[in-house]
C-alpha cells in the first residue's frame, strides 16, 4: 500500500491582496506562515518518501515551512525541468533523513494571462461573476490569454503518471505541494470527476487531501 498527500500551498501575499497570481512569483503572507505549523502537524507520524512541487515561490516556500516543523527531515530540491539540482542548506552528508523534493513547471498554477496581477474584485465587476467564475473554475473556459483547466490537466496528468503514479505503484508515500488548479486537475484524474462537476471543487489554502493505493494504482479506502 502507498499513500498520496495533496497539499495546496499556504496563503500567499497576492492571495491575501485578492490579486490573480498565476505564474507570477509572490511569497507567503504572514497568515500563511503562521498556518504552517498546524498543517505540518497533520503529517506528523506519516512516512513521506518524496515530495513533488513547482518552482513557484509560494509552493516551494510552503514545503520549506512545513519541514521547519519536522527537524528530522531535510528537503533536497531536485529540478526535473532542465536536470538542475539545488539544495537548501549546506549539507556535507546525505542520509536517510534527507527527503527528495522534485520540482517541475508541470505542476504550476493555471496561467491567468492578461488577468495576472489584477485585482479579482475589479475583474468581477468588469466581466461579471458568472464569466469570471468559469474562467477560474470551469474546465474548458480560458481567461483572456491564459490557460483553461483542460490545458492544465493536459500537462499535469502525463507528469503525474510518469513520476508520481510510478512512485505510488512502488509502495512509496508521496506528498504533492502545488497550486489550486494543478491540484484540481490531479484530483479530477484520480477521482474521475466529470468536466461539469469539476467546477464545484474548491481546495482551501493549506488543504490536505489523502488517498491510499495498492500496487496496481487502485484506490483503497483509508
Q: Tell me, what's the pLDDT at 89?
A: 46
Q: Tell me, what's the pLDDT at 95?
A: 62
**DSSP three-state, residue 159:** helix
Q: Tell me, what's the pLDDT at 145?
A: 98
Domain count, the chain: 1
Q: Tell me, what's the pLDDT at 93?
A: 54
Spans of the chain below 50 pLDDT: 85, 88-91
**DSSP three-state, residue 2:** strand
Phi-psi region of 30 (alpha: psi -120 to 50; beta: other; left: phi over 0): alpha
CATH value at residue 80: 3.40.50.1240
Q: Tell me, what's the pLDDT at 91?
A: 46
- How many whole angstroms separate alpha carbon 29 and alpha carbon 17? 10
Q: Tell me, what's the pLDDT at 96?
A: 64
Structure confidence by residue, pLDDT tens digits, 107-165: 999 999 999 999 999 999 999 999 999 999 999 999 999 999 999 999 999 999 999 99
Q: Tell me, what's the pLDDT at 191?
A: 97
Phi-psi region of 65 (alpha: psi -120 to 50; beta: other; left: phi over 0): alpha
Residue 30 burial (CB count, 10 A): 11
- How many whole angstroms separate alpha carbon 66 and alpha carbon 70? 7
Q: Which domain holds residue 126?
A: 2-220
**Kind of pairing between the strands at 74-79 and 98-103:** parallel
* Residues classed as catalytic: 9, 109
Amino acid at each position: 500500500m502507498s499513500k498520496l498527500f495533496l497539499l495546496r500551498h499556504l496563503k500567499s501575499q497576492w492571495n491575501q491582496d485578492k490579486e490573480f497570481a498565476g505564474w507570477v512569483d509572490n511569497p507567503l503572507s504572514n497568515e500563511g506562515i503562521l498556518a504552517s505549523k498546524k498543517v505540518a502537524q497533520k503529517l506528523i507520524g506519516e512516512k513521506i518518501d518524496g515530495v513533488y512541487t513547482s518552482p513557484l515561490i509560494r509552493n516551494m516556500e510552503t514545503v520549506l515551512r512545513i519541514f521547519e516543523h519536522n527537524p528530522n527531515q531535510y528537503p533536497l530540491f531536485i529540478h526535473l525541468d532542465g536536470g538542475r539540482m539545488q539544495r537548501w542548506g549546506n549539507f556535507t552528508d546525505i542520509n536517510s533523513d534527507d527527503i527528495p523534493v522534485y520540482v517541475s513547471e508541470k505542476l504550476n498554477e493555471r496561467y491567468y494571462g492578461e488577468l495576472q496581477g489584477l485585482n479579482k474584485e475589479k475583474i468581477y465587476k468588469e466581466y461579471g461573476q458568472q464569466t469570471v467564475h468559469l474562467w477560474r473554475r470551469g474546465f474548458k473556459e480560458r481567461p483572456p490569454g491564459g490557460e483553461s483547466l483542460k490545458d492544465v490537466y493536459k500537462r499535469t496528468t502525463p507528469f503525474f503518471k510518469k513520476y508520481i503514479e510510478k512512485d505510488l505503484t512502488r509502495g512509496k508515500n508521496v506528498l504533492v505541494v502545488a497550486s489550486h488548479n494543478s491540484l484540481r486537475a490531479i484530483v479530477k484524474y484520480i477521482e474521475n470527476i466529470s468536466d461539469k462537476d469539476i467546477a464545484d471543487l474548491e481546495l482551501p489554502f493549506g488543504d490536505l487531501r489523502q488517498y491510499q493505493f495498492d500496487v496496481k494504482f487502485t484506490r483503497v479506502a483509508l
